[in-house]
Amino acid sequence: MTKAVLVFNAGSTSLKFGLYEMDASGTPPLILRGSVENFQTGPVLLARDARGERLAPKHWKKGSVIDHLEAMDVVMDWLKSNLAATPLGAMGHRILLGGARYAQPVKIDVAVLDDLDSLAIMEPSHQVTDVRGARAMAELFPTLPQVACFDNAFHSTLPAVAKTYALPKDIRDAGARPWGFHGLSYAYVSGRMGELAPTARRVIAAHLGGGASLCAMLDGRSVDTTMGLGALSGLPMATRSGDVPPEVLFYLLRGKLFDIVELEKMLYQRSGLLGLSELSGAMEVLQSSEDPRATAAIEHFVYAVTKYAGAYAAVLGGLDAFVFTGGIGENSAPVRAAVCRKLAWLGVELDADANSANKPRISSPQSRISVWVVPTDEEVMIARQTLAVVGSD
């Protein structure tokens, strides 16, 4: 009987999952994929099979609040009810940060999980949740091979100049350096661009969603990215601030307007598009609003993307292709159009009809730089990496 690999991809307030056949040759065939959404406002589990057919959902009572562990438990129970005849052969987990020790996927054991737990001091918003979920599944299925797949691993190719802060050596040696994230997404995009535009050597990929970042790629490898030590820096995001000058933070602390805990909470949960608009952190809500604060928030977001894109074009020595991915990148034609207008000086020429129709290529045939919309697939990357590790044992 064919076994399956189950993958978990935990976000800040959601849990994506996928089930794949254990086929190590190329892309493992999809059995089903789904997500548990709206942890704080009435969770729901939604899933589709490989044909795209909706499977039986699971709804919580309106107003229910859950955490990632409860979501994982429900997914496991739901899988038993819907796929009782599909035994698991392995499990893969997206872990935000592997640090200096883990630049490649690694089989999970207690020592590995303890190491990964120790890195939460660098990035507590995701690392704690990711490791906690992996530990819970390892304890629940102690004989099942499980693999940690790292979101920063794709950025291990950053040149020294791009992964160094201008800090004293002892501080840098303590781990204060840019790690970069959204790496599973960028790894997938890099592979797809090798198929879609194989001659495009200099590529900027924009993973725009609730979390947002840009990555400069040369020959398919990361050479710079906007997220640094943690998942807070770079672009403004749904509720995360993006770049804020450190003197602003010193001012808030010196003025006793915040303590460390409340400052971190403000930067992660009350800032970004939500902080700018005072309405919502969701791009679709802002785009449907006539409130001038919503317009201003979107303009700020586009400005930040444009600013980094210009910098990365300089880092790459020019640009061959620009890629949109992530929830906003894949679905917001207005944001894509606004960014492309700002990048016209680089030679970007948008095909408005292709953009409105969410076509894979949205640049005109005359555009000096090709522009693409590539739906990301972090789950299949986790499945591939998990099977590569399990298959090598």
Q: What is the number of alpha carbons within 13 Å of residue 88 lying toward its C-beta?
A: 21
In DSSP terms, 36 is beta-bridged to: 15, 45
Cite the beta strand spans of the chain per DSSP E: 4-10, 15-21, 30-37, 44-49, 58-59, 88-95, 106-107, 146-150, 202-208, 212-218, 221-225, 321-325, 370-373
Residue 214 to residue 389: CA distance in whole angstroms? 28
Distances (CA, A) of 111 to 98, 108, 202, 252, 297: 13, 8, 39, 39, 44
Q: What are phi and psi of 239, to 5 degrees?
A: -130, 0
- Reference 99, options 73, 79, 117; nearest CA is 117
What residue has token string 């979101």? 151
230 vs 305: CA distance, rounded Å: 18
Burial class (CB in 10 A: 0-12, 13-18, 19+), 170: exposed
Partner residues linked to 88 by β-bridges: 4
Evaluate whether 192 touches 374 at the Cβ level (below 8 Å).
yes
Is 49 known to be catalytic?
A: no
Q: Are 113 and 165 in contact (CB under 8 A)?
A: no
Residues 192, 200 contacting (CB under 8 angstroms): no
Alpha helices in 178-232 (DSSP H): 183-196
Q: Is 358 exposed, middle or buried (0-12, 13-18, 19+ CB in 10 A)?
A: middle
* Set 130, 151, 224, 377: catalytic member: 151
CA–CA separation, 81 and 240 (whole Å): 37
- Catalytic positions are 151
